[in-house]
Every structure is written in C-alpha cells, then in structure tokens.
Amino acid sequence: MSDRPAATLLDGRALAAQIEANLADEVQTFTDMFKRPPRLVVVLVGDMAASASYVKSKAAAAARVGIDAEVVRVPATADTLALVALVKSIARDEHGPADGILVQLPLPAHVDTVAVLDAVPPDRDVDGFHPENAGLLSQGRARFIPCTAAGVQRMLLDAGIETAGRHAVIIGRSDIVGKPLALLLSAKGPGGDATVTLCHSRSADMAAITRQADILVAAVGRPGLVTASMVKPGAAVIDVGINRVTAPDGTSRLTGDVDFESVRGVASWITPVPGGVGPLTVAMLLANTALAAELRSRGG
C-alpha cells in the first residue's frame, strides 16, 4: 500500500461556476450595448436521451449567464440535405439572430456529419469544428477552440499544474478532443509548451507511454481503461470519458475512462466523473458564444 496521499480532486463544477459568473457580467455589458443578448441556436436531431440531456444542460447554463438559447428539434429521419439546408437557414437568421450555431452530436448513422458541420459558418461555429477554425488553431491563431479541449487547458491553468517542459500524453485522437488539445498543450505560452504524445488504438505498448506522462488525458470512451499501473506517480490525470455503465442488478452509473479509485492513490491530481471536465465543456461553449456575438456585432 502506497503512503502517497490521495490525489487532489479537480472540481470542474466550481471552476465552471466562476467562469459563468465572469461571463454573466460580459453578457450583460453586451446586452446593454447592443440591446439584445447573445444568442445560441442548437440543432437537436432525433430523440436520443443522452443528446437531449446534454442540450438541456447547455440551454440551462446559457440562461444562467443571460445568453438566449433556442433548440431546433428535427426528426431522426431527416437526411443530410435537409439538415444542411436547415443550418444554412439558421445562418441567414431565419430563426432569429444566431451568433452561435451548434449541431448536437452524434447525428444518425445515415447523415453525413462532416457535411452538416461544414455548413455552419466558421464565424458562428462555437463548437470549433469547422476546418477554418481547426486551421487557425493549428497556426496558433485560435478563434473558437473546441470546448472540451479548451476546458481541459483552463482546468490545468486554474489548478496551477505546470505544462511547460512537461510530458503530456493524450489517449484519443479525435477532432473534438485529442487533436485540438495536443495543439493547445504544445503551443507557446501559458498552458502550453508541453511535449505531447498522442496515443490511439494502434499505439504499441500504450502503458509504457502513459507511465511517462506528467499529464495524462484519457478521451476515448472506454470505461476503466486507465489503471493505476499505467500512471506515473505524481501525475495529473484528466478524465474526459463519460460512459454509462449498467450493473447486473439493472442500476446504472456514469463513469469515466479512468479507474478512479485505484488511480487516485497514484496521481497527484485527478478529475472526477461526473463533475470534472463536463461542466467546463459547457462553460467554454458559453464563452465561445459570447465571443461570437461580440465579433459579429463589431463586424470582426
């Protein structure tokens, strides 16, 4: 049994509340100046319970800071052409002013997700998925940063976890988390200057790589993937995974990609699931929406 004290919990809910409080002041200033609040339009396709829950939490958070959020619900049978047409109509403000446009993922299997996301104008793309925004991020000229990646970096900065000169290992190479986070952590400046390794399903001897990590980020959607034997003593472990696991008795619970109980005895910092990265993802979406409204209203 290790004598190492249990890891410090990184409280995403508390940090998100701080971000929201600051945003509320910014949003009020915008509303007073332009005589309307920033406005977010969310496209929700189908009736997946998880997606509906995520959208509900985003709309509630928007209301807390004074952002007007509208959810446009679309049947699961809608095809790619119909969804692209809808997104373009929202961009023309046919559903009211749309400073930010968000298409809730995942989309049904028959839909070309890339085509739908590409229809979102880059200056309204508050998820940061448009190739123009991805390109700006890669060049260190970020406009809208994918929300989860931005939230992870913000968490590290807030906790005072040094990134410069450290080895960050990210498990997962998605365009939503892994790739943009690798760019953020390796960029020059605060919250960056790390040496980054991006692991994925074809990585050989992943545990040998993760044991080198001063900062270990798990973002693949596999419950309990990261165990204590994969973690360097004293590391910061950031769990982006959100998985619903059903027990033999039929009860279910949310869990991350990290075996929390074993890893917290090895790491120096760890995020819980829920209550870790998730609230920050929503907070950074609100920040992107406020920025989009300001840029749009000022013609930037």
Q: Is 58 a catalytic residue?
A: yes
| Given 125, 127, 214, 239, the catalytic residue | 127
Q: Is 127 a catalytic residue?
A: yes
| Given 104, 179, 214, 259, the catalytic residue | 104
DSSP 139-208: TT--SS--HHHHHHHHHHHHHT---TT-EEEEE---TTTHHHHHHHHHSSSTT---EEEEE-TT-TTHHH
- The pair phi, psi for residue 72, each rounded to 5°, is -100, 110
Positive or negative: CA dihedral 239, 243, 247, 248 = negative
Tally Cβ neighbours within 10 Å of residue 143. 18
Show which residues are catalytic: 58, 104, 127
